[in-house]
């Protein structure tokens, strides 16, 4: 008898992690943390049924292998380390299906901490010297805005109030 792709089940009614769908999910999760929405989308795109995917996601959550809390924590840390600001990170996490409350709790950093991330991103691209001409200041401000820093933080920095 032919078995439907990924349909081997455990005694608990969940899918086993050594089924096709379980292996696919674990491969994705070993690469990086995923939100429930991301993992759902990717598994359905691989041809697994909505019902199988939902059962597996519940099982992975119960086992602590799928955690949106952990995903938010690692994502914020990684993006901040790469020089991105809270506005952009918030937008990216919303696109991945995380709740505003969860996102806000992980973006809570002091203004000084975000300023340090912003200064590092600026200095990596432009060096430590500050722009003297208005057109150059505007160009740098657009770069920092694209990176996701709040306008008030950018304005203070561009006009010489960088806390140093």
Q: What is the pTM of this model?
A: 0.82
Per residue in 117-159, pLDDT tens?
A: 999 999 999 999 999 899 999 999 999 999 999 999 999 999 8
Confidence of residue 2 (pLDDT cuts 50, 70, 90): very low
Q: Measuring CA to CA, which residue among 145, 139, 144, 149 is closest to residue 113?
A: 149
Per residue in 49-104, pLDDT tens?
A: 999 999 999 999 999 999 999 999 999 999 999 999 999 999 999 999 999 999 99
């Amino acid at each position: 008898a032919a078995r439907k792709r990924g349909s081997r089940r455990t005694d608990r009614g969940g899918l086993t992690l050594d089924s096709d769908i379980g292996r696919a999910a674990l491969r994705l999760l070993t690469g990086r943390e995923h939100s429930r929405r991301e993992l759902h989308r990717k598994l359905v795109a691989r041809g697994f049924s909505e019902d199988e995917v939902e059962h597996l996601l519940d099982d992975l959550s119960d086992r602590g292998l799928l955690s949106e809390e952990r995903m938010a924590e690692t994502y914020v840390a990684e993006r901040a380390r790469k020089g991105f600001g809270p506005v952009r990170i918030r937008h990216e996490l919303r696109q991945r299906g995380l709740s505003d409350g969860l996102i806000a709790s992980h973006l809570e950093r002091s203004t000084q901490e975000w300023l340090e991330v912003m200064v590092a991103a600026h200095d990596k691209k432009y060096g430590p010297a500050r722009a003297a001409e208005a057109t150059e200041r505007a160009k740098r401000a657009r770069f920092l805005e694209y990176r996701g820093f709040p306008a008030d933080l950018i304005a203070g920095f561009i006009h010489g109030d960088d806390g140093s």
